[in-house]
Amino acid sequence: MKKYNVAIVGATGAVGQEFLKILTERKFPVGNLKLLATSRSAGKIIHWQGTDYVVEETRPDAFTGVDIALFAGGSASTEFAMDAVARGAVVIDNSSAFRLDPDVPLVVPEVNPEDVEWHKGIIANPNCSTIIMVAALKPLHDAAGITRVVVSTYQAVSGAGREGIEELETQVGQFSRGEETRPQAFPYQIAFNLIPRIDVFQEGDYTKEEWKMVKETQKILHAPDMAITATTVRVPVFRSHSESVNVETEQKLTAAEAKYILAKAPGIIVIDDPAGDRYPMPLTAADTDEVYVGRIREDFSISNGLNLWVVGDQIRKGAATNAIQIAELLTK
């Protein structure tokens, strides 16, 4: 089996560490491995598959001899992605820098794997909440033609990185001891609270996260006219994003038909048993690669409407696993 020289940019962060874990789990054929990060993290030792690797500072020449460069996100993408491409690497980028670039494929392997074929050196990994949603939308769109989507998200603190996880842990302790909380990673206390704002406000008072879900979904599904509106909310959950999704279709789908279609779809697990009180939850999805769908029911307020509850681990399927699945498409 051919092996590929892989670089991970942002190797010491949450997504970078998940990259290493998933490369092992999926037995990706890694030849040489380079672990790259900022100058602050350079020199750290990371143990992977029986070998100690020294983290190097991310520099343009670090990509010499690299076949696939996995970028975990952040400013490194705009600073170094083109350097990696110039040295012959294919970049799979987890930041938002290239997602809406018309020359860059935006790929979810279960949804639009064919788009990998027209890459010009960079393939973008979609936003985590977008990945989770489009995995559930695609089979329904193929079956009945989705015309409108209304989504509200319930996004875990780990979507904000290690700092978000640590802040929730700290604030739970502070709250239980009656101490004052001092928000840093989030604008307000996140423990025992919800914050209906993720990222900065933009056009129409929608946030950047909300516009990502709109524009990225349209691009991935090749449906520029699909009407989509989103509200994104940070919730005090450590891991896995949840989404309440309402869709309107051209052709009517009953709830039973939708369940059947979704149950057959790649990467989807349907958990929908009202009598047994069974439905997906963040704990269900944590540390898994599937997207879970439940609470599937008709929206009786319109002719062709469905309601779905969709949950996925945003660090794995919403970031690292999706990127490595893209790398697997490249090897084929």
Active-site residue set: 128, 241
What's the CA gap between 151 and 153, in Å, rounded?
6
Taken as a whole, the chain contains a residue count of: 332
H or E segment and range at residue 152 = strand 146-155
The DSSP result for 184-198, as a single string, is SSSSS--TT--BS--
- Count CB neighbours of 109 within 10 A: 21
C-alpha 125, offset from chain centre: 7
H or E segment and range at residue 19 = helix 14-25
Beta bridge partners of 174: none
Give the CA count within 13 Å in the CB-facing half-sphere of 189: 13
Q: Closest by alpha carbon to 122, among 222, 17, 209, 9?
A: 9
Q: Is 286 helix (H, G, I), strand (E, B) or coil?
A: coil
Do the strands 291-298 and 227-234 form a parallel or antiparallel pair, or are they unpaired? unpaired
> Greatest CA separation found in the chain?
61
